[in-house]
Structure 1
Amino acid sequence: MRARPRQQDRDAAIASHDDEPRSSGDKSESVSAVGKVFVILAALGDRGPIGISELSQHLGMSKTTVHRFLQTLRTLGYVAQEGETDRYRLTIRLFELGAKALESVDLVREADTEMRRIGQLTREAVHLGAFDEDHIIYIHKIDADYGLRMQSRIGRRNPLYSTAIGKVLLAWMPPQEAAHVLSRLEFKKSTPKTLASAQAVLAILPSVRERGYAEDNEEQEDGLLCIAVPVFDRFGQVLAGLSISFPTMRCGADTKAHYVALLKEAGRAISEKIGYREPTAP
């Protein structure tokens, strides 16, 4: 078994390329070399363990060039050689770098730009909410320019069953998990339109998932409509719900369709910023 390269070996490999002054021509070659490194890494990621000859042919590079880059990457710990063969594969070190980048991602910070954009375009209240012990909790909010007064603030908890964000969080859970969560709740009517049972909520979840958004039509507050879409994490799980709230008197068919489109666009943008990638069709 090959030992994992030591940090001093990595440092030496890097230093070996930086110990001489570089001309403008050298700089161009350096940029080209960096590009080749990432092409090699991408090919290893796509094709799995592969030999130098096959990799050289696939990339259209000479075997000497490919071997030289692979040896440097092996010294740095980004690729490993399988036994005594000429087959190379990626190591977990790239994942470690990616994990460090993801640690610095802040959902609220990434969502804020999109939420403010929606707020400026619509002048309505925009919320970001997450699952919290059988409720939703608002973790960010952009207030409406119209002076709309809502029973919401950052840190406030509201029921899953009577909010658009709550329905979004439930709709992307496995059905058995959603049923289990709802079975623990005490249903209280906030308005005459509040759904009164777990069965009533479960019945609408498939359509929520199919159309990609949920609604609270005066179910939490009289005279107030709310639309919400999911925000996905890097594993494809729903991390939060993004919503817009506005009075029913400002809800025409065109308005609603426009708001749904804005929310879906923003939901995708936020999801991508925190590492989510849309599944590719087979």
Structure 2
Amino acid sequence: MAEELYDTKQPESVAAVLKVFALLQALSENNETGISDLSVRLAMPKATVYRFLQTMMTLGYVRQEKDSERYGLTMRMFELGTKALQYPDLVELSKNHMQLMADTTGETVHLGTLIDSEIIYIHKVDSRHMLGMYSRVGRRAPLHCTAIGKVLMAWEDPERRERVLKGADFKRYREKTIVDSQAFTDELLRVKAQGYGEDREEFDDHIRCLGVPIFDRLNRPIAGLSISFPTFRYDESKEAETVAMLQGASRDISAQLGCTRFPLDN
């Protein structure tokens, strides 16, 4: 595939662009990678890999670890990515709420939005504990077994939801993963009725999540907020309190995005 993308038949300028993006994609999938690994993976000569990496370093998009001589992406790539968001202010509007919720609960807080038929984490605040949910900004996750995915689908327009779910893979990740489309539809009805979504060890073992949607000026769901708990720290007696905190954050963020009739108040 790599050879087909940038073979000698391509105009030189086009081939160069394809090589740059192939390198960026490879670094995004496996950060801190060496030249030899990139050369083998992309079927690209080491000298070419080195030359492109040095240019991208000069421009500030790639960094090199001095100790290991491996390469990775810089935060400048993340800054570019946030500019591609439909709602570029979303992360900035959510940061303080997320930090407050992380400080209050001690747990990891995520902000995610829809990309293709998955969700992508666009901001997170880590747990103060050693043990918590593994994630990173830019990581994709499935719709059918995450709290954010469920709330995005539960409040989505039925026609668009159907289109999105056609591209979803109802893969089984854990024993409790919902893999039947009818069962997932029933789950979405339950989520909307109760005003929040749950992941009950459906995506990661021993991790439970609570999530709520965020709405835009047309009162449509455009993102989700969630808090993730290791099961041994999950206190069901505090569930209502946690959900109220999430809904309060969503209400304020949604209002700042122009939402005039907060759907979770219905």
**Alignment TM-score, normalising by the size of structure 2:** 0.63
Query: Highest Rg: 1 or 2?
Result: 1
For structure 2, which runs of at least 5 residues remain unmatched after alignment? 1-85
Q: Which of 229, 243, 255 is equivalent to 1:260?
A: 243
Q: Residue 256 of structure 1: CA displacement?
A: 1.3
2:207 matched to 1:187?
A: no
Match of 2:229 among 237, 246, 251: 246
- Counterpart contact for 1:129–1:241, Cα < 8 Å: yes
Q: Give CA-to-partner distance per residue, 1:148-203, whole Å, 9 cap, x none.
A: 34231100000000100000010011233323322332221111111112222111
Identity %: 44
1:220 to 196, 200, 203: 203
Match of 2:147 in 1: 164
Q: Secondary structure at the match of 1:239?
A: strand
Partner residue, 1:6: none
Counterpart position of 1:116: 99
Please give the secondary structure, in 1, of the residue aligned with 2:95.
Answer: helix
Aligned to 1:226, the other structure's residue is in SS state strand
Superposition map of 1:172-211 within 5 A: 172-211=155-194
Give the distance between the partners of 2:171 and 2:241, measured in 1 at CA: 32
Which amino acid counterpart does residue 225 of structure 1 have in structure 2? R
Closer/same/farther in 2, CA of residues 155 and 216 from structure 1, 3 Å limit = same
| Distance of aligned partners of 1:222 and 1:104 in 2 relative to their CA distance in 1, 3 Å threshold | closer
- AA at the equivalent of 2:99: R
Query: CA contact under 8 A between 1:125 and 1:143: conserved in structure 2?
Result: yes
* Partners of 2:170 and 2:125 in 1: CA distance: 28
RMSD: 2.0
Instruction: Provide the TM-score with structure 1 as the length reference.
Output: 0.60
Distance in 1 between residues matched to 2:92 and 2:121, nearest whole Å? 14
Output the CA distance in 2 between the equivalents of 1:106 and 1:130. 13
Correspondent of 2:108 among 125, 133, 136: 125
User: AA paired with 1:195?
Assistant: I
Separation in structure 1 between the aligned mates of residue 262 and residue 139 of structure 2, nearest angstrom: 34
CA contact (8 A) 1:105 1:274 kept: no
Counterpart CA distance in 1 for 2:158 and 2:236 is: 30
